[in-house]
Amino acid sequence: MSAEAETFTCRQCSDKVMTGETPDRRGWCKACRRKVVRRAGGLAVIPAVLVAAGYFWMIDRFDLFKSNFLIIWIALGLALGYVAFKIARRVLFDVIRARTARRPATR
């Protein structure tokens, strides 16, 4: 393999990446992608907490805290919060990536 085949220019930061990494399908390097994942993960906590809080409000509303199956209801609430986090992180990743992507220069 030649050295030219192992390098690429990131479409986001315009840096030449010379390590053995390969660009993702949009031509971004791992560092640029990691920044977007970190931002999306931080923002995805908000919908996850809101879903879990709404679920625990529902448990309180229907007096399920007195239920024999309380541990199951709590585990279900935590699972719903986790699923909300994963979905929100994926959606926010696409939104943030689309908004921060550099547009190709027109000539």
* Predicted pLDDT of residue 68: 93
What is the rounded CA–CA span in Å between residue 40 and residue 20? 26
* Predicted pLDDT of residue 56: 92
What is the rounded CA–CA span in Å between residue 65 and residue 46? 24
Q: pLDDT above 70 covers what percent of the chain?
A: 91
Average pLDDT for 13-33 = 84
Residue 101, Cβ density class (10 Å: 0-12 exposed, 13-18 middle, ≥19 buried):
middle
* Predicted pLDDT of residue 80: 96
Q: Which residue intervals of 1-69 are DSSP H helices?
A: 3-6, 30-61
pLDDT digit string (tens) for 25-76? 888 888 899 999 999 999 999 999 999 999 999 999 999 999 999 999 999 9
Would you say 33 and 13 are in contact if contact means Cβ atoms under 8 Å apart?
A: no
Per-domain residue ranges for the chain?
A: 29-100
